[in-house]
């Protein structure tokens, strides 16, 4: 799930940075004469209530050394004073860019989880660096805050369960169709001389539909339950859709052929219905051809 979480983070990164930096700038004034560490600590205690999902708040001096124990709702995280963090991205990026930044996800030494840090450099009125204020938020907490469709949010978990039920139900349908089709073929093959073409056609349709539904089940399970849809290439999704549509076209084509034979023997006046079905299959083939051309053009553009 880590890859999908990181890709979801890339979608909400701009909003997350804007919000976290807005809060830091709102409560901690910058470019003031002789910035006070005590005022910064008081502001961080207020921020702790504004951001209950944040893991820790702490302050670095201009050399990158942590000068207070982390402020946190979790007593286990209230430590770190004296640690040199000058090699961490949240220090040197904030110093280099001279603005509030949000890091990429990284394994936190404090929580041992994937974490992002918003860091805010504090300058005095002479534009000399005084402190760097940091806020650690776990990647999962950040996604809950800014990505409500995330599979780790409450609604995302609920959606995952619902899609799980749907995929299971469709899988049962696919297996029943396959069992019925295979059963008909086995029953017909026991007495070879009594094999009916109609039964063979019907069994083929059932197995083809079973394959189409199974492809759909596989796609839904991988994308909506396992959350792999962002890792899959667009071309792979198109292939799944093409296989599904192709299976439907094959099933309808077989049904149309079977109706032609049937009506030619028992009801020539009804053969027009078979022609209608053949026309529908032709339209589906044209639509599938257009879809193939569109996906090919999209692949070239990518």
pLDDT score at 233: 47
Instruction: Kindly report the three-state secondary structure assignment for every residue of the chain.
Output: CHHHHHHHHHHHHHHHHHHHHHHHHHHCCCCECCCCHHHHHHHHHHHHHHCCCCCEEEEEECCCEECCCCECCCHHHCCCCCCECCCCHHHHHHHHHCCCEECCCEECCCCCCEEEEEEEEEEECCCCEEEEEEEEEEHHHHHHHHCCCCCCCHHHHHHHHHHHHHHHHHHHHHHHHHHHHHHHHHHHHHCHHHCCHHHHHHHHHHHHHHHHHHHHHHHHHHHHHCCCCCCCCHHHHHHHHHHHHHHHHHHHHHHHHHHHHHHHHHCHHHHHHHHHHHHHHHHHHHHHHHHHHHHHHHHHHC
pLDDT score at 232: 46
pLDDT score at 197: 64
Superfamily of structural domain 2-146: PAS domain (3.30.450.20)
- Is 0.75 surpassed by the pTM of this model? no
pLDDT score at 295: 67
pLDDT score at 220: 76
Strand partners, 60: 66, 132
pLDDT tens-digit profile, the chain (302 residues):
567 778 788 889 999 999 999 999 999 999 999 899 999 999 999 999 989 999 999 999 999 999 999 999 999 999 999 999 999 999 999 999 999 999 999 999 888 889 999 999 999 999 999 999 999 999 989 988 886 555 455 666 777 788 888 888 989 988 998 888 888 777 766 555 565 666 776 777 788 778 878 877 887 787 767 765 544 444 555 566 676 777 777 777 777 777 777 777 777 777 787 788 888 888 888 887 887 777 666 555 54
Structural domain spans, the chain:
2-146, 154-301
């Amino acid at each position: 799930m880590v890859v999908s979480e990181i890709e979801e983070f890339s979608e909400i990164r701009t909003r997350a940075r804007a919000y976290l930096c807005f809060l830091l700038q709102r409560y901690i004034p910058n470019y003031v004469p002789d910035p006070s560490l005590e005022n910064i600590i008081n502001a961080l205690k207020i921020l702790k209530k504004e951001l209950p999902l944040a893991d820790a708040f702490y302050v670095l001096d201009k050399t990158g050394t942590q000068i207070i124990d982390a402020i946190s709702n979790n007593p286990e995280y209230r430590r770190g004073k004296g640690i040199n963090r000058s090699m961490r991205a949240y220090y040197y990026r904030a110093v280099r860019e001279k603005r509030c930044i949000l890091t990429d996800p990284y394994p936190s030494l404090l929580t041992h989880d994937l974490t992002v840090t918003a860091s805010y450099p504090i300058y005095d009125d002479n534009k000399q660096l005084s402190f760097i204020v940091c806020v650690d938020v776990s990647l999962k907490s950040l996604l809950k805050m800014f990505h409500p469709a995330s599979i780790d949010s409450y609604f995302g978990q609920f959606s995952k369960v619902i899609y799980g039920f749907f995929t299971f139900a469709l899988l049962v349908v696919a297996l029943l169709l396959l069992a019925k089709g295979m059963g008909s073929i086995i029953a017909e093959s026991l007495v070879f001389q009594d094999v009916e073409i109609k039964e063979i056609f019907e069994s083929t349709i059932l197995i083809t539909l079973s394959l189409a539904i199974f492809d759909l089940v596989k796609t839904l399970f991988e994308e909506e339950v396992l959350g792999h849809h962002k890792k899959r290439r667009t071309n792979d999704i198109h292939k799944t859709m093409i296989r599904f549509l192709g299976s439907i076209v094959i099933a309808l084509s077989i049904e149309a052929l079977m109706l032609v034979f049937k009506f030619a023997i028992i009801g020539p006046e009804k053969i027009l219905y078979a022609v209608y079905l053949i026309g529908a299959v032709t339209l589906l083939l044209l639509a599938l051809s257009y879809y193939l051309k569109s996906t090919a053009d999209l692949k070239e553009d990518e």
